[in-house]
Structure 1
């Protein structure tokens, strides 16, 4: 089991999470490495928790099935549950937001592409279409009358 952890400074927003529903699944983008030959795939790969793919030579299914081009071994990964929202805290703390079971591969890097959601802790203002690829995001909460931001983001993949 592995976990994706997030640490970041949230100012005026909380419950940061990917927009991830069955109607609009979030594609988690990773760099992937084969645990057999240690070859790292040159491109990023996308995994969504609602897609199930057949594994060859097995009745099993996984969210992501991958065959290493170097050693030809088939590997898989499955996201265990819906993402856990990242809460605002002082000081910022690393928290698990996603857990996945990897067989024969490791995700080595996370790329935060896609649409993220958050809300104002006091105002309840909903912020949608948050882009985190630049590592920071700024907006204004009309109800609270203050600037809001997400910055100093760091993502880490660890053994759970």
Structure 2
């Protein structure tokens, strides 16, 4: 099992999470590596937690099914939980966003493309369409009368 862990400095906002509903699923984007031959797929791969794909030669299904071009083995991964919100914390410690069950593959890098959302700590103002690709985000909370920010963003893929 693999966990996607986020660390960030949140100023004026909390409950940072990917916008992820059945109508508008969040596509998690990763670099993937075969654990059998260690071949890394040259492109980014994306999948969401709502789509299920049949695993060839099996009765099972998974969110992501991949056949390694080098060793020809079929591997799969499934997101086990809905994304957890990243809470504002002075210590800037890593918090788990999702857990992924991986079979025969390993995700080596995460790219936060897609929309994220958060809310104002004091005002509960919803902030949507947050883009984390640049590694930081700034806005203004009209109700609180103050700037809000997400900075020092880092991602880690760790064994759960």
TM-score when scaled to structure 2? 0.99
Deviation at 1:122, TM superposition (A): 1.0
1:34-85, Cα deviation, whole Å (9 max, x unpaired)? 0000001010000100000000011100000000011100000000010000
Q: Distance in 1 between matches of 2:107 and 2:88?
A: 26
Structural mapping, 1:6-17, within 5 Å: 6-17=6-17
**Which 5+ residue runs of structure 2 have no aligned equivalent?**
none
Corresponding position of 1:154:
154
* Number of residue equivalences: 160
User: How far apart, CA to CA, are the structure 2 residues paired with 1:51 and 1:149?
Assistant: 33
**Structure 1 residue 95 corresponds to structure 2 residue 95:** yes
Aligned equivalents of 2:97, 2:56: Cα separation in 1 = 30
User: Partners of 2:96 and 2:47 in 1: how far apart?
Assistant: 18
* TM-score between the two structures when normalised by the length of structure 1: 0.99
Deviations 1:111-143 (A, max 9, x none): 000000000011010000000000000000000
Q: Does 1:135 align with 2:130?
A: no
- Extract unaligned runs of 5+ from structure 1: none
Q: List structure 1 segments (4+ residues) > 2 angstroms apart after TM superposition.
A: none
